[in-house]
Structures are given as structure tokens and as C-alpha cells.
A and B are shown apart, each in its own frame.
Chain A
Amino acid sequence: MNDEFYIGYEPTMPDRMAVRVRAAASALIVLAAMVPAVLLFAQRRSAAATFEFGRPRTFVGTVVEYPYPALLVQDSSHTSPAVYWLVGGGKHGASEIVKGRDGRMMRVSGTLIERDEDRMIEVASNDALVDIEAHRPTQIESIRSLGAVVVRGEIVDSKCHLGVMKPGEGPTHRDCAVRCLLGRITPMFVPQAGDAQVGRLALLDPDGRPFTDPLDTRVGRPVEIHGELLGRGPLRFVAARSIDVDGFHGGS
């Protein structure tokens, strides 16, 4: 056996050792480049959704207070107003901000969150909503039933899912979703891919009221909901009579 001996605090090491150490170091650098490439290959693509952080806009529309805060923005080119859900900053809803303002025409400054045809505005505070003078509050039609439904998909918190976080759904995001729902952000039902019969629906309890139950064991996992489809103006909700986690088996 050759007599090479390495003492760590000496500045140089025997040659045969140096060769091996250099080889090991190179191999590790190569590993550091390859492992992330492989992992990236395995990751799901993120949803096409936007959160215009730092770029607030102004919207004009009719405020909806119940069941969940929203703004109906009349676009001259469409007969039916566009729906913008309203949400507060951080993991908080906008219920306090819209309190007592149902039906009022207001100017709203906030940040746009958008995913497919669903839109949301994050409003920072009470001052974000400004009354437009010379407009009397209008009567938005009351909630009406649109028939029974059975749907499969996932319950999410609307703010993260619609664009603030990616992913804004699924098991790894669950803690955040629960936190958001506890902050009274609107819970939303998202149908599974391929289930085109309904779009995203704000979730109500069996009595058609906002959920007070934190839903924590039913968020971020596949569920089957038996309930009633409700509408208020152009807004769409599902009042869930039963929510079964893993209520169905088989592939997505």
C-alpha cells in the first residue's frame, strides 16, 4: 500500500487522493445540475392565472354584499354585468368592507386577480370603495334556485386559486386554504377537469348561507357535492347539502 497520508489541516494532499477528490467534487457539481433538471421535468405546469400585484386599477360597478362580496361591473358591450369577486388583503375576506353597501354603485380601487373567466379584486381597506354620487342603491335580485346538482371537484379558497398562489389548490396548499377560509375569504368549488357542466361556484352551506364551518377536512382534496345551484343576478353558487371527501373513485 502506498504511503500517502492526508492530514486535513495541511494545505495540500497526496496526488492519488487529490485525483479522487477532484473527481468526487466534479461528480457532485454534475449532480447539482442534473437533479434539478429531472425534478423540473416531473413538476406540474402552473395554471394560466394572473395577480396584478403592485398595479392597482379602478373599477366602477354595483356592490354585492351577500352571500359573498362581489362587484357587478356593467360593460356596455354585454347585456349581463361582469362578476368580480371582492376580497381583502392578505388572508382576509372583504365582508367588513362591503357591509351595508349592497346595491350601491361605487368606484373600487384594487388589484385584479384573474383565472379563465373568473375575476376578483383585492381591496386594501374601506377607503378603496367610494360612493358614486347621484346614484341611488339599486335592488339586486334576490337569490333564486337553479336546480339540484351533483358535482365532483375540489373546494379551494378563491383568492389563492384564482391567481395569487400557484398552486392555489391541492394537498400542499391546504394549510394556506384553511387559513384563508378562516379569514373569511370566499370558499369556492372548482369542478374537476372535464366536468364542463358547471364553472367555478362560490360555496354556501345547506341553508344557502356563507359557511361558518372552516371546512378544513374537506378543502384541497377531491370531493363530491350534492347540492342546489343558486343564482343572484349573474353570480353563481352551490349550496352544498352533502360534501363527501373521496366520494368517488377512479381516475381524474
Chain B
Amino acid sequence: MIRPLRRAHAVIMTTLAILLPLLIAAALVARRAG
């Protein structure tokens, strides 16, 4: 079960490493002024 689990971790963390910073940046940029 090791390989599928480590693969799952790799896929998940790669996705989060791309998505989360993008999301936070987008949320900050999209904020309304004032």
C-alpha cells in the first residue's frame, strides 16, 4: 500500500502547493477597495 499512498501524497501536495498560494493571492487581489 506504500506506493499508492506516497503517490497520493505527492499528487495532493503538488496540487495544494499550486492552488493555495494562487487562491490566497487571488483573494487578496479581488478584495474591494475600502
Direct chain A–B contact by Cβ atoms under 8 Å: yes
Q: Are A221 and B33 in contact (CB under 8 A)?
A: no
Q: Please classify the interface of chain B as helix (H, G, I), strand (E, B), loop, or mixed, using the class held by over half of its residues.
A: loop
- From 232 to 252 in chain A, residues with beta carbon under 8 angstroms from any chain B beta carbon are 246, 249-252
By the criterion CB–CB under 8 Å, are B33 and A251 in contact? yes
Assembled-state Cα–Cα distance A246/B33 (Å): 9
A51 to chain B minimum Cβ distance, whole angstroms, is 26
Q: In the bound complex, what is the Cα–Cα distance between A221 and B32 (angstroms)?
A: 8
**Count, chain B residues at interface, CB 8 A:** 3
Interface size on A, residues (CB 8 A): 8
Chain A at the B interface: SS class: loop
Residue of A nearest to B31 (CB): A171
In chain B, residues 2-34, which have Cβ atoms closer than 8 Å to a Cβ of chain A? 32-34
Cα-based distance from A251 to B34 in the complex (angstroms): 5
Chain A residues with CB below 8 A from B32, complex form: 221-222, 246
Residues in A lying within 8 Å of B, measured CB to CB: 192, 221-222, 246, 249-252
Interface, chain B (partner A; CB < 8 A): 32-34
